[in-house]
Amino acid sequence: MAAANQAAKVPAPSPSKLERITEFFNDEVATGRLPGAVVLIQQHGRPVYLKCFGFQDVETKAPMTSDTIFALHSMTKPITSVAAMMLIDAGKLSPADPASKFIPGFADAKVVVGSETLDGKNVLTLVPADRPVTVMDLLRHTSGITYDYIGGKLIMKAYSESGLFDGRYTNKVFADRIARLPLARQPGTLWRYGHSTDVLGRIIEIVSGQTLYQFEKQHIFDPLGMTSTKFVLESADERARMAEPLPGDTILKLAETERRAHPEWESGGGGLVSTLNDYARFAQMILNGGQLDGKRYLSPAAFKSMTSDHIGPGSGVARDYYYFPGDGFGYGYGFAVRTDPGNAKPPPPGSIGELKWDSGSGTYFGVDPKLDMIYILLEQTQNERGRITPAFKKLVYDAFATDE
């Protein structure tokens, strides 16, 4: 009864304002900026908005459905982070564990502090890490491990010359390779997006004795009924359900070609594919505090730790231009966490305590405990995502606004 009373106090979305979401995505598809998309808003465990727009592939004209398979890219990270928290819950892993306990190459970590010119060439100036990279650093992106396009010219050069992506590579090979590369910053000093979650995926393998997919399938996908969430599509039927970017979306087309060319790499940072139906199960489990349908996936303590801000005041963690959680958000373990209204006037839409993450392919999801609501946008566009995802979030929250 208390839950019903609580639900009655939470605003329901306005049907006429939900229609604006439909108009927005119909226009995106009609003007050819987006091949298609699927959108879900779910409140109190039930869909209040579910629509499929356009095509999963403009060349075959196959329509989008709630069972279309999308490359999640960085929306893989929250799932890998939950897997790691399950091992922390079980006492098999600790946030304080040094990465070098599992991947010895990190024992000799070096940090870039600048460059000097020797014989007309720029050479990296390296110093030893002040302290070890820890599992907590990997979970909250404070390891100093970066993506090649973020770390600056010298880091970019070091990554490109290292052979990080040469040939075939498993999580083991990848983690061993990246452990030899310089860190962009001292561990624990800066939020920096990068391959931290990929390294975490390898640690999950070492601790569990399973591949990352085997562990996630056993402990997350199968229990939640996420039947289409995997690293590699296994059948012609699955491949026929795959959403494709527009032919002109060259950055994403290239990224997808690379991802599909490496079925041996179960990238914990960006390798999963999934469907709207599957990801909604995962997001609802998070909204429910780590449980769904009577099964608990995370203890209350682990869930609280995962969804609290670990990089706010007093943490010693700085932010810069590449701070992707954005205005008003801190960061937990795998999720951005809304901590304050932010600096923008008016403030960005949303609620204090909301969780969210997105990806380079335009996939986006949010979990809002205050509204007892999840929202998911699955699309495949690198070209248009920077414009579409904020517009989508505003439309979602406008629908719940109580003032006209």
Q: Same domain for 256 and 392?
A: yes
**What average pLDDT does the segment 18-23 reach?**
98
Residue 122 and residue 40 share a domain: no
Is residue 257 assigned to a domain? yes
Whole domain around residue 33: which residue ranges?
A: 2-85+210-400
- Predicted confidence band of residue 403 (pLDDT cuts 50, 70, 90): low
pLDDT at residue 121 is higher than 80: no
Same domain, 292 and 225: yes
Average pLDDT of span 314-342: 96
- Please identify, among 208, 230, 248, the residue that sits at the C-terminal boundary of a domain: 208
In whole angstroms, what is the distance from residue 186 CA to residue 316 CA? 11
224: its two tokens: 């939640």
Residue 352 falls inside a structural domain: yes
242 and 262 fall within a common domain: yes
Q: What does the pLDDT average to over 284-297? A: 98
Domains identified in the chain, total number: 2
Residue 130 sits in a domain whose CATH number is 1.20.58
Residues 170, 171, 175, 178, CA torsion sign: positive
pLDDT of residue 2: 47
The answer to whether 273 touches 68, Cβ cutoff 8 Å, is no
- Give the per-residue pLDDT at 7: 62
Do 269 and 331 fall within a single domain? Answer: yes
Q: Answer with the one of 164, 183, 208 that is the final residue of a domain.
A: 208
- 124: which 2 tokens? 């990296």
Res. 294 pLDDT band, cuts 50 70 90: very high
Q: Is residue 90, in this structure, part of any structural domain at all?
A: no
pLDDT tens per residue across span 191-205: 999 999 999 999 999
Counting other chains too, the contacts that 122-127 makes at CB distance below 8 Å and 24 or more residues apart are 122/154, 124/154, 124/158, 124/182, 126/182
Helix (H, G, I), strand (E, B) or coil at 56: strand
Residue type, 62: A
Amino acid 105: pLDDT: 97
Q: What is the CATH number of the domain that holds 270?
A: 3.40.710.10
Per-chain mean pLDDT for the chain: 94
Task: Supply the DSSP symbol for 35.
Answer: S
pLDDT of 124: 78
Burial class (CB in 10 A: 0-12, 13-18, 19+), 247: exposed
Residue 1 in this model has a pLDDT that exceeds 50 = no
Query: Are residues 346 and 309 both part of a single domain?
Result: yes
CB 195, CB 177: distance < 8 Å:
no
Distance CA 104, CA 248 (A): 42
Chain-centre distance of CA 149, in angstroms? 17
**Residue 227 to residues 50, 56, 276, 287, 398, Cα–Cα distance (Å):** 20, 19, 11, 20, 33
> Would you state the pLDDT for residue 120?
63
Residues 50-81: pLDDT tens digits?
Answer: 999 999 999 999 999 999 999 999 999 999 99
Give the residue from 188, 208, 228 where a domain finishes: 208
**pLDDT per residue over 130-177, tens digit each?**
999 999 999 999 999 999 888 677 788 888 889 999 999 999 999 999
